[in-house]
Amino acid sequence: MNTTSQSAPKPAYVRIFDTTLRDGEQSPGCSMTPQQKLVMARALAELGVDAIETGFPASSQSDREAAGLIGRELRDTSLCVLSRCRPADIEASVRALDGTVRPRIHLFLSTSPLHREHKLRMSKQQVLDAVAENVAFARGFVGDVEFSAEDALRTEEDFLAEVIAAAIAAGAGTINLPDTVGYTTPNEIRGLFQRMIANVPGARDVVFSTHCHNDLGLAVANSLAAIEGGARQVECAVNGIGERAGNCALEEVVMALKVRGAYFDADTGIDTRRIVATSQLLSRLVGMPVQRNKAIVGANAFAHEAGIHQHGMLRHRGTYEIMRPEDVGWPSSQMVLGRHSGRAAVEQRLRALGYLLEESELDLVFAEFKALCEKQRVVEDADLQTLMQEGAETLGYRLASMTVSDAGHRARATVELSDPDGQRVFETAEGDGPVDALFGALAAATGVDLTLESYQVHSVGLGADARGEANLSVRFEEKDYEGSGTSPDIIEASALAWLDVANRLLRQRRTAQQEMAAA
């Protein structure tokens, strides 16, 4: 019996129509210069958006200039400008798009009874006539015309169907049904798209688009529901910026389709690895910081502090992450150390810093860590290293005393150390200077011979509270290590910095031996 293998059907392709430079820029305080818009447009093109709405040419000289700059440089992305259903606006848009390889004119006209009465003062027939006449007029200049029925979700369905039919008949290739005031719900918008696509003449020959605002926090949910209803273009903005509470956030709708692709059976052409960089660029350009708990691009999106979560993440990242941070442009997940963190996370961070501790040693450090968390919200790497240095007397060699003399051409140093078992160790060494002699004596006492790469000392604090801080970089067995130490005496600080590294290496060696013995 012969069988023919058939590949599974491809997911539906959803266009990403980016309106960061138009609707997004209308956010109070988010205006951009034409040059800034060009910089952002380049990033959007690299991100892989299908269409960029560059502005509203009839509204300002700045928008006209930006459209021209972007149109002359970007050749592979559809570039769109917004226009009212007025011949003068359309002509301004045509001039702004001059030289653009893939131009689109995006016409809009309000359709809801509230807008018809109070904003337009137009009858239903006047709206229908304006749509037909202006779409046809724009179509005479460019082959790609989109029509938006402003406030579509509060428009009578039978009249909305008439408007859509008129726009399609006049030559619109994309029909946008915007939730202009963020009023609808997922069930409502899903059903509306399903009915319009099923019943309006010519609807199956055009692309339906959704443009949702976030007044009730439903912009992304409503956009995804519209896709379920048949929409194949999403109008969105980076970081969700836009009028009032903003637009559907590009990064959120794209990653929802990516992560839940099997559910939605749809995908986009976005290079998701560029999402974070694009978000951060926009934040710098408009001076609007991204909230820390913002999905996908917020600083806390892949950060974990709770001990239970950190423990799960260390076992398997899938326990508390549904996507990889690297897939959206973050370097890695973050284990934020704070009051809620557990032993596993602290131990993992110490290992990353080169501290390999036994259980009894970790008990002491973790107790100190918890005490520190009562004084500050977040414990950084530098704080952990300070804890390790302060706890050196129980975790390795401890400096008991030292003398350094410099007579003639050679310096001499004598050190007294307490080893990890509490035994006293004395050693003397000579060197080309006091620090060289000191490090030689420490190497003899501990049996760890380090190659000094760099050495710096400086003062910390003022007046009677001033302390010396020593920082050094050393090489040991083809690897680089760094150590630091502080003391009122700069030579003692240097000894503590050297012991910081030596103790770390000795703990690593001891742990490796224990693991080999256990194996």
Binding site as annotated, residues for Mn(2+): 23, 211, 213, 247
**Collapsed DSSP state (helix, strand, coil) of residue 378:** strand
Helix (H) or strand (E) holding 518: helix 490-518
Cα distance between residue 402 and residue 414, in whole Å: 6
DSSP string, 449-486: --EEEEEEEEEESSGGG-EEEEEEEEEETTEEEEEEEE
Distances (CA, A) of 24 to 86, 160, 242, 390: 23, 26, 4, 51
User: For the CA atoms of the chain, what is the radius of gyration?
Assistant: 33
Cα distance between residue 112 and residue 131, in whole Å: 14
505: nearest Cα among 430, 420, 441: 420
Q: Which residue has the tokens 């060699």?
A: 397
Helical segments of 353-487, H only: 359-373, 381-390, 392-395, 434-446
**Collapsed DSSP state (helix, strand, coil) of residue 13:** strand
Cα distance between residue 501 and residue 388, in whole Å: 11
Annotated binding site: 23, 211, 213, 247
Cα distance between residue 250 and residue 180, in whole Å: 17
Cα distance between residue 76 and residue 339, in whole Å: 50
Burial of 376 (0-12, 13-18, 19+ CB in 10 A): exposed
Cα distance between residue 69 and residue 63, in whole Å: 10
Cα distance between residue 372 and residue 385, in whole Å: 13
Asked if 452 and 356 touch (Cβ cutoff 8 Å), the reply is: no
Helix (H) or strand (E) holding 55: strand 51-55
**Collapsed DSSP state (helix, strand, coil) of residue 44:** helix
Burial of 370 (0-12, 13-18, 19+ CB in 10 A): middle
Helical segments of 61-218, H only: 61-73, 87-96, 113-115, 124-139, 157-170, 186-199
Cα distance between residue 290 and residue 284, in whole Å: 10
Cα distance between residue 34 and residue 69, in whole Å: 7
- Token pair listed for 200: 């309006």
Sign of the alpha-carbon torsion through 334, 337, 339, 341: positive
